[in-house]
Amino acid sequence: MSSDNRPIGVFDSGLGGLTVVKDLAKILPGEDIVYLGDSARVPYGIKSLATIRRFAMEDAAFLGRFDPKLLVVACNTASAAAIDAITATAPCDVVDVVRPSAAAALAATDGPVGVVATEATVRSGAYQRALAADGAGREILAVACPLLVPIVEEGRDGDDPIVTHVLCDYLRNLQRLRPGAMVLGCTHYPLLAGPIGKLMGPATQLISSATAAALDVAHRLDAAGMRHARVEGGSLRCHTTDNPQRFAELGATFGGRPLDHVEYVGTDELEGLVARRPVKS
């Protein structure tokens, strides 16, 4: 049985991608993971697509230093804006979060599908296209929720009245739609699945983009015979472009485990990587 002991590279605009790491650790407990959270430049979702694309390419280039066997773009906004560019230059296979999530939503219901995501993700139309391609005739409603990422990054949870107030405003039209499934189209949003689920009701199945991506990673590794030889005890190495101590404190909530060591990498270092990076033929 073949194996590949190289790490999986994962990046996000901040802490949200650690929800993908959490699901990866459950499904693939033997895998080593290298994570980059670009917290100094979070949120990506309110920036232009060109800026998001540049940031995402820099993040991917940084993780390329670790010779990953697979790269996970654990950011819906970066997936929507830059997946083609990243795939064209990455030295390995690339997993995004949009396509697996759309497929999971369509499999969960024959009815309407809702999406909550960042402004940039909704504006890109990535989810709308992915859902329409395989779910012709479905009613699809994508709603931008720009305040949710900073709210989650501040450590607020579903018991916070501010969270409830913001969600009530954002989800109003989706509640009228009564979707059979709704994609949490940002890897920060699973931390708000409780209050979102209460507001949407039991008839709406919530689709975590983090879980969908992790399952896709497992499928690809198995298909290629690239799982780590070890079946458990995988390591997690984290990097952030902002405050490592704060990242570790909040990251434990996102990732479901203590983060004993978080390394700092400056955005100036990231900015110098893409120009030097060779393009994959």
Please tell me the distance from the alpha carbon of residue 188 to that of residue 205, in angstroms, as a whole number. 18
Select from 73, 92, 106 the least CA-distant residue to 187: 73
- Return the residue matching tokens 């590794």: 221
Cis peptide before 43 (omega within 30 of 0): yes
Q: Which amino acid is at 27?
A: I
Alpha-carbon gap, residue 109 to 113, rounded angstroms:
8
Determine which helix (DSSP H) or strand (DSSP E) holds 85, and give its type and residue range: helix 76-89
194 burial level (CB within 10 Å; 0-12, 13-18, 19+): middle
User: What's the chain's length in residues?
Assistant: 281
Burial of 37 (C-beta count, 10 Å sphere; 0-12/13-18/19+): buried
Backbone angles phi and psi of 166, in degrees to 5: -65, -45
- Give dist(CA 226, CA 5) in Å, integer: 8
Q: At what angle do helices 244-255 and 18-27 cross, to 10 degrees?
A: 50
Instruction: Measure the CA–CA gap between 1 and 255, rounded to whole angstroms.
Output: 30
Which residues share a beta bridge with 37?
Answer: 12, 240
Catalytic residue IDs: 75, 186
Q: How far apart are CA 209 and CA 204, in angstroms?
A: 15
In sequence order, the 6+-apart residues with CB closer than 8 A to the CB of 126 are: 76, 79, 80, 98
